[in-house]
Structure formats: structure tokens, C-alpha cells
């Protein structure tokens, strides 16, 4: 199971952490290093994510989602876009790298969701470009309000693993 492989890869660490949202947590979910450094784990995770993609293209926020996003898009042979976390003030300032077809539906892929605010920002950028977003697919749902926030904004959340499944091991 993917949850067991994530634990074996030390993708879930225990201690004192401050999350992007500013909240404190006694565990941290880090997909970047374990997935980027393990082709086998990346392949398995992207296989699982691909089962849930129904849109004609996918998008994800840099940095953690990028390997999963690219691997999934390659498997499905569909376009993908990377959404910048921060605004750039040099070069090309567009927050979207890649160009899904205008007026099409895009599924958002994420490594970890917590409160859902970064996914909401991503959906807002995509919707501002004339795209439709109705689904977010994540590897780990920290179960800290994202599902409810996304539902309130017309999106469903599909999670491969819920943190409660990991913590009750």
C-alpha cells in the first residue's frame, strides 16, 4: 500500500513543525525528497493518481506536486501546467507555466493538502485563465479543512491516503 511505502520512505516525520498555514503540528508530510528520489515510489503514486484523473489536462502548484504532476501527465499523455507559488517580478511573470486548452476542465494534482488555501489560489488562477476546475487529487489529505473548503467552492477532493490512516497504524 502507498501509505506503508510513504512511511518507509520517511515521507511522514514526527516532531515539532510549523506548517505553511502557520499552524503547529507534531508531524510533517514531505513528499518532495522521497518521491523525487524514488522512481519506484513516484511511478506507484502517479499510477494511483492517474486512476482518478478525468479532465483533459492537469495542473499543480510548485514544488511538491511537480514530479507527480509530470509523471501523471506523461502516463496519460495529456497537457499539464505548473502554477507558481510566488509572483515573479522578472522574465515571464505569468503564474501559469504551460497552457491547458482554454475552456477545458483541469484536474489539480497536489502532494499534500491541509486547509486548502493553496489549492484555492491555484483554482483561482486556473479559473482566471478561462479553465474549469472541479476536482483536486492529492496523495495525502491532512484532514484539516481542505475537503470542506473545496466542496464549498465547487470542487471535490480525492485523496490517495488520509492522514488518519497513517496515524492509526
Q: Give the CB-side neighbour count of residue 121, counting CA atoms within 13 A.
A: 16
How far is 126 from 137, CA to CA, in rounded Å? 15
Cβ of 138: how many Cβ atoms within 10 Å?
A: 29
H or E stretch covering 156: strand 156-162
For 150-164, the pLDDT digits (tens) are 999 999 999 999 999
Whether 115 has a pLDDT exceeding 70, the answer reads: yes
* Cell numbers given for 1: 500500500
Whether 3 has a pLDDT exceeding 70, the answer reads: yes
Using only C-alpha atoms, the chain has a radius of gyration, in whole angstroms, of: 15
The size of the chain, in residues, is 169
* Whole-number pLDDT of residue 127: 94
* Whole-number pLDDT of residue 97: 81
Backbone angles phi, psi at 81, to 5 degrees: -135, 145
Please say whether the beta carbons of 47 and 66 come within 8 A. no
Query: Domains in the chain, start-ordered, CATH in brackets?
Result: 2-167 (3.40.50.2020)
How far is 2 from 40, CA to CA, in rounded Å? 11
Whether 167 has a pLDDT exceeding 90, the answer reads: no
Cβ of 105: how many Cβ atoms within 10 Å?
A: 16
For 30-88, the pLDDT digits (tens) are 988 888 889 999 999 999 999 999 999 999 999 889 999 999 999 999 999 999 876 65
Amino acid at each position: 500500500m502507498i501509505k506503508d511505502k510513504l512511511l518507509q520512505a520517511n515521507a511522514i516525520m514526527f516532531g515539532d513543525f510549523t506548517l505553511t498555514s502557520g499552524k503547529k503540528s507534531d508531524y510533517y508530510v514531505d513528499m518532495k525528497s522521497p518521491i523525487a528520489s524514488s522512481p519506484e515510489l513516484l511511478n506507484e503514486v502517479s499510477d494511483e493518481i492517474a486512476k482518478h484523473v478525468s479532465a483533459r489536462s492537469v495542473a499543480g502548484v510548485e514544488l511538491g506536486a511537480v514530479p507527480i504532476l509530470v509523471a501523471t501527465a506523461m502516463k496519460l499523455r495529456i497537457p499539464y501546467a505548473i502554477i507558481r507559488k510566488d509572483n515573479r517580478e522578472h522574465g515571464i511573470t505569468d503564474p501559469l507555466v504551460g497552457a491547458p486548452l482554454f475552456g477545458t476542465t483541469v484536474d489539480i494534482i497536489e502532494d499534500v493538502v491541509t486547509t486548502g488555501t493553496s489549492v484555492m489560489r491555484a483554482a483561482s488562477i486556473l479559473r482566471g485563465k478561462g479553465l474549469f476546475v472541479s476536482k483536486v487529487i492529492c496523495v495525502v489529505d491532512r484532514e484539516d479543512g481542505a475537503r470542506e473548503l473545496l466542496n464549498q467552492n465547487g470542487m471535490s477532493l480525492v485523496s490517495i491516503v488520509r492522514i488518519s490512516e497513517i496515524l492509526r497504524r
